[in-house]
């Protein structure tokens, strides 16, 4: 239990800072959705899809390689300097290539060739890339508070510039990217100063080659992840007018649908937050504990606790989503999400469940990392990408945004089960898979039952509270049994 407290304490630090940072960042959603039209917000979403996709190519899996090999502190300085120099060279080279391809890429993300937003996109990619190794170092040596302060300051700076440019200066969507660019530059500059002593190391060609072999499989894996996470916006952008009218009964543009989907997708951030803050602590933790005798039992217990936290988040957001989006921003008439975007709220429970499965994927990845079989990640995420593409093509013409949400769900669920299969072969962990699947089923059933209760004259809030309490009791009973089994096996 002492070792789990180490994981939970780091998760808590990352979590508090992430909650605060996400809270600050989420203040941008009501700003954007109450000022920008859905079509404009759709362009913002498409540009960030491009940033996420190119980020995979720019970083080349070096963050994971650094965490894997720099745990050997005797060689940490050499590894740090080598990988940073490598990323400086490759990011500048790739940045130039993306600039030359502007006439092809820009129209695909809703921009005109020569747009200043496109140039800022490249700058964001370069500065974000050059910060990943220093941030990985902070995680590896458990400087979680410094990490948290920097991440929070990044969001706060981004937020402040956004509000200044949009509300005071009257800028349009270009303000979104100016803010992001400045915040990325300042953050990269500060963290470089903090990690300056690590530049005293020496160039290590052998370690670079080893890191590249370890990291390169993360490129197709990362591309698969971006396909699963964001490519649905491009499929929605291609919806025909007939499909939109047939599904939604009114003449929205395809850009409007992308904007609505992008805004409602943001509500799944509550589950993503749990996954990301857990991942920040989890990866360095399982690498440090991988050689301990009780590591398998420890990993299984961590998985159980993760699912308990995820269940609470899923129930709160899914059952009370209508009340959440209608929250008024203090001193304004604006709501958390503008009412012109509420058309897409039905996708939220499906996306929350999809991210829950992403959390399973993160848990199960331990065996792949420990055994250094990262090539399996590429296979798994590309399979997930194929599922995403196929289901988006099949479902969007008939179900629109809900089709995209279900495509994401099935993709992440498939990936979680695939990585589980590969991981336990490499590093056996007694996960209580059936019992934890039962927790997902209970939570999903609660959301599915809610409309039947409201049809029986239960008020919206009464139905939500009744189902929340009932589901939480059932989840608690399942988890009591799960924890007791884990302890008896230990």
Query: Would you list the DSSP string of 276-289?
Result: HHHHHHHHHHHHHH
The pLDDT of residue 490 is: 46
The pLDDT of residue 362 is: 87
pTM of the model: 0.70
The structure tokens listed for 17 are 């800072």
The pLDDT of residue 252 is: 82
Q: Residue 64's closest CA among 288, 215, 273, 282?
A: 215
C-alpha triplet 390, 395, 400: angle, nearest 5°:
130
pLDDT string in tens for the chain (490-residue length): 555 555 555 555 555 555 555 555 556 676 777 778 777 777 787 888 888 888 888 988 888 888 888 877 788 899 999 999 999 999 999 999 999 999 988 888 878 878 889 999 999 999 999 999 998 888 788 777 788 788 888 888 988 898 899 888 888 888 889 999 999 999 999 999 999 999 988 888 888 898 888 888 778 777 777 777 777 887 888 888 888 888 887 778 888 888 888 888 878 878 887 887 777 777 677 767 666 777 778 888 888 888 998 999 999 999 999 888 888 877 667 777 778 888 889 999 999 999 999 999 988 888 777 776 767 777 888 888 889 999 999 999 999 999 999 999 999 999 999 988 888 877 787 888 888 899 999 999 999 999 988 888 888 889 999 999 999 999 988 877 655 544 545 4
- What is the rounded distance in angstroms from the CA atom of residue 97 to the CA atom of residue 11? 38
CB 261 within 8 A of CB 344: yes
- What is the rounded distance in angstroms from the CA atom of residue 24 to the CA atom of residue 146? 18
- What is the rounded distance in angstroms from the CA atom of residue 456 to the CA atom of residue 470? 18
At residue 328, the 3 state secondary structure works out as strand
The structure tokens listed for 407 are 């495509």
- What is the rounded distance in angstroms from the CA atom of residue 486 to the CA atom of residue 297? 7
Collect all residues with Cβ–Cβ distance below 8 Å to 407 and sequence separation of at least 6.
Answer: 232, 387, 388, 391, 392, 395
The pLDDT of residue 488 is: 47
The pLDDT of residue 397 is: 92
Q: Residue 396's closest CA among 385, 408, 386?
A: 408
CB 11 within 8 A of CB 278: yes
- What is the rounded distance in angstroms from the CA atom of residue 297 to the CA atom of residue 89? 43
The pLDDT of residue 405 is: 93
């Amino acid at each position: 239990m002492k070792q789990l407290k180490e994981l939970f304490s780091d998760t808590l630090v990352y979590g508090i800072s992430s909650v605060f940072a996400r809270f600050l960042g989420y203040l941008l959603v009501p700003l954007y959705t109450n000022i920008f039209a859905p079509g404009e917000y759709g362009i913002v979403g498409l540009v960030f899809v491009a940033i996420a996709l190119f980020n995979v190519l720019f970083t080349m899996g070096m963050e994971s390689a650094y965490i894997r090999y720099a745990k050997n502190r005797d060689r940490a300085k050499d590894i740090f300097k080598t990988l940073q120099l490598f990323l400086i060279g490759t990011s500048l080279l790739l940045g130039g290539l993306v600039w030359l391809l502007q006439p092809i890429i820009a129209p695909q993300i809703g921009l005109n060739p020569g747009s200043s937003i496109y140039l800022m996109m490249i700058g964001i990619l370069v500065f974000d890339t050059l910060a990943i190794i220093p941030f990985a170092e902070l995680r590896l040596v458990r400087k979680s508070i410094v990490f948290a302060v920097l991440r929070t300051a990044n969001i706060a700076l981004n937020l402040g510039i956004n509000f200044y440019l949009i509300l005071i200066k009257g800028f349009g969507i270009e303000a979104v990217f100016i803010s992001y660019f400045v915040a990325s530059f300042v953050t990269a500059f500060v963290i470089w100063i903090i990690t300056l002593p690590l530049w005293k190391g020496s160039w290590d060609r052998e370690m670079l080659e080893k890191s590249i072999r370890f990291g390169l499989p993360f490129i197709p894996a990362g591309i698969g992840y971006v396909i699963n996470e964001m490519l649905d916006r491009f499929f929605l952008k291609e919806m025909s007018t007939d499909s939109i009218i047939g599904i939604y009964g009114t003449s929205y543009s395809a850009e409007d649908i992308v904007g609505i989907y992008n805004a409602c997708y943001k509500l799944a951030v509550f589950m993503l937050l749990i996954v990301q803050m857990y991942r920040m602590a989890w990866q360095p933790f399982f690498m440090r504990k991988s050689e301990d005798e009780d590591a398998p039992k420890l990993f299984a217990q961590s998985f159980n606790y993760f699912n308990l936290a995820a269940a609470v988040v899923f129930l709160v957001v899914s059952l009370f989503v209508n009340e959440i989006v209608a929250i008024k921003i203090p001193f304004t008439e604006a709501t958390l999400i503008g009412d012109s975007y509420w058309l897409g709220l039905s996708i939220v429970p499906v996306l929350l469940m999809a991210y829950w499965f992403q959390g399973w994927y993160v848990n199960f990845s331990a065996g792949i990392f420990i055994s250094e079989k990262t090539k399996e990640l590429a296979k798994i995420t590309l399979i997930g990408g194929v599922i995403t593409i196929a289901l988006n093509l099949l479902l969007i013409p008939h179900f629109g945004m809900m089709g995209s949400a279900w495509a994401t769900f099935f993709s992440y669920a498939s990936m979680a089960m695939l990585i589980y299969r590969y991981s336990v072969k490499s590093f056996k962990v007694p996960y209580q898979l059936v019992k934890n699947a039962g927790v997902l089923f209970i939570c999903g059933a609660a959301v599915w039952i809610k409309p039947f209760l409201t049809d029986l004259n239960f008020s919206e809030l009464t139905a939500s509270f009744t189902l929340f309490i009932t589901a939480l009791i059932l989840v608690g009973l399942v988890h009591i049994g799960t924890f007791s089994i884990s302890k008896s096996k230990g």
